[in-house]
Amino acid sequence: MKLPQEIIRDKRDGRTLSEADIAGFIEGLTRDRVTEGQAAAFAMAVFFRGLCLDERVALTRAMTQSGTVLAWDLPGPVLDKHSTGGVGDTVSLPLAAMVAACCGFVPMISGRGLGHTGGTLDKLASIPGYDVAPGLDRFRRVTAEVGCAIIGQTADLAPADRRLYAIRDVTGTVESLDLITASILSKKLAAGLQGLVMDVKTGSGAFMAQRAEARALAESIVTVANAAGLRTRALVTDMDAPLASSAGNAVEVAYAVDYLTGRAREPRFHAVTLALAAEMLVIGGLAADVAEAEARLTAALESGRACEVFARMVTALGGPGDLVEAPERYLKRAPVVRPVTAPRSGVVERIETRAIGLAVIDLGGGRTRPQDSIDPSVGFTGLVRPGDRVEKGDPIGMVHAADEASAARAESALRSAYRIGMVPDACEPVVERLG
């Protein structure tokens, strides 16, 4: 095998890496023969030089094969969805339960927050007792018995990705189309899926801010996934505003519980959740078309079956048995909670959504280093939407903070993220189906 620094040099200089070179580098990363500095240099070289299709497939396969690859024997299709990350994107929590309530099986391997975006794993870790890192035996058992299990990446599944994922988060290489593709698909292939639906975000709160970039990433993932033997579809969804009106960890769990119980179902969040779940049912052969799938999913929500599945999953993974009945009893509340008021009257023209994600990190709800701990209680709730009319002094959101100083910084950041004027910017479609 070539030395790691020679592989880095080849990619830095724009040469195509062989399958053997990529496999050797990833094996070295898994076995600690490649240092963090070398992994960071490799990621930066890929970021600037890019990978061709063959290199993407080789990187995906090498990362998949760096650990255990699961096989399932279940009485229904094994399905999943993955989001490229956004702000207020807590779709995975209700979606997994909704699909399971419609006879799918969803073994979801979720990630920590990446860059300015929130991570499903960090949200679930805010539930007291919830085991985000169970052994594979427990993961298999809960998936089979409940229909879904959302956990973090275990030491057994795609360990090379787990290491590279943390390095990308703090080295400015998160947005690489090639690395995103390999990272997502290596985890999904290792999970033994039979079908995958991708949610590729676009807009001011997405890694792919331009719609053309998002379409390119969606096409890359679908192409590589199908080349690797995984049936995959992709939707492009809007992230020019936080998807939920809450952004943080515990506050997004509470939002997901409200959605499942029917206490609150905001149209934009519901549209994205329903569209993604419907594609999962279709790709898994559980519905003939999207219309039939949406009808089944709506029935699962309205009947309470989806909520029941979510509650059973939480309990099976160590969380409280009555979380959905009394989330306020278990989800940590920030010491400082106060409104952020509009500086002027008018219409919300635009939101710099990325700035809101960064404000959550500054509050302590995300990381600037891989080893950082997270305060699950902090974030924002009650965020108003583009097109909403506000009067001077009206709340545009509530900040949840650990102390007055961080609350003041977050208040300033949230006000700066909102542009209030007379006419909202033209809206892109919330959901775009490709092809």
Amino acid residing at 315: T
Please name the fold of domain 4-50: 1.20.970
Q: Model confidence over 47-66: pLDDT tens digits?
A: 999 999 999 999 999 999 99
Neighbours of 358 (CB within 10 A): 17
Give the confidence band of 90 by pLDDT, cuts at 50, 70, 90: very high
CB 74, CB 291: distance < 8 Å: no
Rounded to an integer, what distance in angstroms lies between the CA atom of residue 351 and that of residue 388? 11
Locate the domains of the chain by residue range: 4-50, 79-327, 332-421
| pLDDT over 70 at 260, yes or no | yes
Say how many residues make up the chain: 435
pLDDT of 248? 96
Rounded to an integer, what distance in angstroms lies between the CA atom of residue 205 and that of residue 78? 30
pLDDT of 217? 85
Q: 8 exposed, middle or buried (CB, 10 Å; 0-12, 13-18, 19+)? A: buried
Catalytic residues: 80-83, 120, 168, 183, 187-188
pLDDT of 170? 81
CB 243, CB 268: distance < 8 Å: yes
Neighbours of 152 (CB within 10 A): 20
Average pLDDT (173-192) is: 89
pLDDT of 187? 87
Amino acid residing at 206: A
pLDDT of 425? 77
Q: Does domain 79-327 have CATH number 3.40.1030.10?
A: yes
Share of the chain above pLDDT 90, in %: 79
Give the confidence band of 427 by pLDDT, cuts at 50, 70, 90: confident
Give the confidence band of 114 by pLDDT, cuts at 50, 70, 90: low
| pLDDT over 90 at 34, yes or no | yes
Cα R_g (the chain), whole angstroms: 21
Stretch among 204-213, 215-224, 344-353 having the lowest mean pLDDT: 204-213
| pLDDT over 80 at 124, yes or no | yes
Q: Model confidence over 265-284: pLDDT tens digits?
A: 999 999 999 999 999 999 99
| pLDDT over 80 at 368, yes or no | no
Give the confidence band of 315 by pLDDT, cuts at 50, 70, 90: very high
Rounded to an integer, what distance in angstroms lies between the CA atom of residue 340 and that of residue 15? 51
Average pLDDT, the chain: 93
Q: Does domain 332-421 have CATH number 3.90.1170.30?
A: yes
Q: 303 exposed, middle or buried (CB, 10 Å; 0-12, 13-18, 19+)? A: exposed
Average pLDDT (197-217) is: 89
In DSSP terms, which residues pair with 277 in a beta bridge?
A: none
pLDDT of 292? 98
Share of the chain above pLDDT 70, in %: 99
Q: Decide if 4-50 and 332-421 have a common fold.
A: no
Three state DSSP letters for the chain: CCCHHHHHHHHHCCCCCCHHHHHHHHHHHHCCCCCHHHHHHHHHHHHHHCCCHHHHHHHHHHHHCCCCCCCCCCCCCEEEEEECCCCCCCCHHHHHHHHHCCCCEEEEEECCCECCECCHHHHHCCCCCCCCCCCHHHHHHHHHHHCEEEEECCCCCCHHHHHHHHHHHCCCCCCCHHHHHHHHHHHHHHCCCCEEEEEEEECCCCCCCCHHHHHHHHHHHHHHHHHCCCCEEEEEEECCCCCCCCEECHHHHHHHHHHHHCCCCCHHHHHHHHHHHHHHHHHCCCCCCHHHHHHHHHHHHHHCHHHHHHHHHHHHCCCCCCCCCCHHHHCCCCCEEEEEECCCCEEEEEECHHHHHHHHHHHHHCCCCCCCCCCCCCEEECCCCCCCEECCCCEEEEEEECCHHHHHHHHHHHHHHEEEECCCCCCCCCEEECC
Q: Which residue has the higher pLDDT, 85 or 127?
A: 127
Q: Pick from 93, 119, 108: which is nearest to 192 by CA?
A: 108
Q: Which residue has the higher pLDDT, 85 or 242?
A: 242
pLDDT of 408? 98
Sheet holding 346-351, edge to edge: 389-390, 346-351, 418-421
Q: What is the pTM of this model?
A: 0.88
Average pLDDT (94-103) is: 98
